Amino acid sequence: MVTLSSSAVDALKSGLRGPLLLPDTPGFDEARSIWNAMIDRYPAMILRCAGVADIRQGIAFARDNGLPLAIRGGGHNIGGSALCDDGVVLDLSSMKSVRIDPAARRAYVEPGATLHDFDHEAQAFGLATPLGINSTTGVAGLTLGGGFGWLSRRFGMTIDNLVAADIVTADGELRRASASSNEDLFWAIRGGGGNFGVVTQFEYALHEVGPLVYGGLVVLPFAEAKDALVKYRAAAPAMPEELAVWAVARLAPPLPFLPPDVHGKPVLVLAMCYTGPVDDGPAAVESARRFGTPLGEHLGPMPYEMWQQAFDPLLTPGARNYWKSHNLAGIDDGLIDALIQAIDTLPSPQCEIFFGLIGGQTQRVAADATAYPARDTLYAMNVHGRWDDARDDDRCIAWSRAFFDAAQPFALGSVYVNFMTQEESGRIEQAYGTNYARLVETKNRYDPGNLFRNNQNIRPTV
């Protein structure tokens, strides 16, 4: 346990606008709970920042007292980087402002905002930028790791749409990072995670999307999975970039459009979103509908904001989660065979494996243009182990690792940093590839003492 003098804590409190939560403060245990219930860490204090001044105070306090520092945005990171033991947590969840400039097509977003906060404001003007697929995810962490979702085939990664950011670095300075200001820092935060400071505001470019899109789910019997995935990979090159189709293998949830006798049975779910003209939607998804004989489907026009929340019921907080991920250039026959074997041995009804088709605009950016380098990725594959009972930890983790190992011969060797668990620090150089050395140089410049290390850490060498 960390021992701090009461005078030091009182001095910190006196300079804050937001509340400072200590272990004996009511609500402290709730405040240290995050999305992944496997993470159980006990910080010395949690500072609920009300603005940039509080962020600067918290950084200075942690730095000057030699305390671990964690930054919480949405609290969704699989590795639990939002929390630390015996240190300071800067909780940014109260800083949720999203301001839209519809004429300039710009969004100005604070670091505590979620995807839903962003989408709700932007869709009021029929605008959006590529984000993730779970509306309770924090915008900040998603962006700093790269960010991709249903719009990425058309408009690129989230970081490809980041215009500028304000960031407090380890020395307490507030810096503007953009293509014309602190360019090295701007390059690094587009994929380099929280290694370089605390972003206090993001500025994004927006695109005309919605408010209605066409899409939904087509659920196939798992007996047809191999044939369907072969058709899926064959169809991918000709798919319009307005269409995103993801393949998810799992047990069927109790969806209302599925017959009750299908619930809990292995299925292949094709999740699709078409963001071109809504009237063109049925034709755009028709080929994907024919990958197999559906057990049930739910397709049609819907608000984009609603589609962004479609998977929230499967990703609620409080469950135990363990992920393993690969980037893929294709879906090989051997990978399909390994998938079928893995689904035959599912350890929990909540576990799933997905192939997220991205490509398109994400592949037209040079690997060294941003810190995120994996521009050859066509599919992001994630093994999503998920369960409720801690007694199932070993079994579910072993299953996740087994499929990850079986898939490795068919993978590119790179990995999306936001999908990495804390134990995977040995893969950080894989995540950044040829960009890693430049990231270390930038870390040396802005955080030589490695204050921001509670992450997939890029260690300084000075």
pLDDT tens by residue, 71-128: 999 999 999 999 999 999 999 999 999 999 999 999 999 999 999 999 999 999 999 9
How far apart, in whole angstroms, are the C-alpha atoms of residue 274 and residue 277? 8
Burial label for 254, CB within 10 Å (0-12, 13-18, 19+), is: exposed
Q: Output the CA torsion sign for 319, 322, 328, 333.
A: negative
Overall average pLDDT of the 220-224 stretch: 97
Count helices and strands in the chain by DSSP H and E runs: 14, 18
Local confidence band at 3 (pLDDT 50, 70, 90 cut-offs): confident
How far is it, in rounded angstroms, from Cα 445 to Cα 279? 52
212-424: CATH topology: Vanillyl-alcohol Oxidase; Chain A, domain 3 (3.40.462)
Torsion angle in degrees (nearest 10) through CA of 134, 138, 140, 141: -70
Q: What mean pLDDT do residues 191-213 have?
A: 98
pTM across the whole model: 0.96
**Residue 374 burial (C-beta neighbours within 10 Å; 0-12, 13-18, 19+):** buried
Residue extent(s) of CATH 3.30.43.10 domains in the chain: 7-91
9-42 burial string, b = 16+ CB within 10 Å, else e? eeebeeebebbbbeeeeeeeeebbebbbebbebe
Bond prior to 111 in cis (omega within 30° of 0): no
Counting Cβ atoms within 10 Å, is residue 340 exposed (0-12), middle (13-18) or buried (19+)?
middle
> What is the distance in angstroms between the CA of the first residue and the CA of the last residue of the chain?
29
If you average pLDDT over every residue of the chain, what do you get?
97
Backbone angles phi, psi at 320, to 5 degrees: -90, 130
In Å, what is the CA distance from 142 to each residue of 5, 159, 193? 36, 9, 9
Q: Which two tokens stand for residue 163?
A: 């215009």
pLDDT surpassing 90 at residue 5: no
Other CB atoms within 10 Å distance of the CB of residue 444: 15
Question: pLDDT (tens digit, 9 = 90+) per residue, 36-57?
Answer: 999 999 999 999 999 999 999 9
**At residue 308, does pLDDT exceed 80?**
yes
* Start and end residues for every CATH 3.30.465.10 domain found in the chain: 98-209+434-446
User: What backbone phi and psi angles, to 5 degrees, belong to 400?
Assistant: -60, -45
Q: Is the pLDDT of residue 260 over 70?
A: yes
DSSP symbol at 126: T
In whole angstroms, give the CA distance from residue 357 to residue 381: 9
User: What Å distances lie between residue 329 and 219, 236, 358, 375, CA to CA?
Assistant: 24, 12, 10, 10
Two structure tokens written together for 340: 């079928």
CB-count exposure of residue 73 (10 Å: 0-12, 13-18, 19+): buried
Other CB atoms within 10 Å distance of the CB of residue 312: 15
User: Residue 201 in contact with residue 109, Cβ under 8 Å?
Assistant: yes
CA dihedral sign, ordered 445, 429, 78, 213? positive
Q: Name the percent of the chain lying above pLDDT 90.
A: 98
Task: For the chain, give every residue range classified as CATH 3.40.462.20.
Answer: 212-424
Q: What is the pLDDT of residues 151-190, one digit of tens each?
A: 999 999 999 999 999 999 999 999 999 999 999 999 999 9
Other Cβ atoms less than 10 A from the Cβ of 234: the count is 12
CB 375 within 8 A of CB 394: no
CATH of domain 7-91: 3.30.43.10
Report the pLDDT averaged over residues 330-356: 97
pLDDT for position 462 = 86
Determine what percent of the chain is predicted with pLDDT higher than 70: 100
Please give the order of strands across the beta sheet that includes 162-168.
Answer: 98-101, 106-109, 198-205, 162-168, 174-178
Q: Nearest CA to 213 among 128, 158, 273? A: 273
Higher-confidence residue: 342 or 3?
Answer: 342
> Which of 3.40.50.720, 3.40.50.2300, 3.60.21.10, 3.30.465.10 is the CATH number of 98-209+434-446?
3.30.465.10
Bridge-based pairing of strands 88-91 and 45-48 is parallel
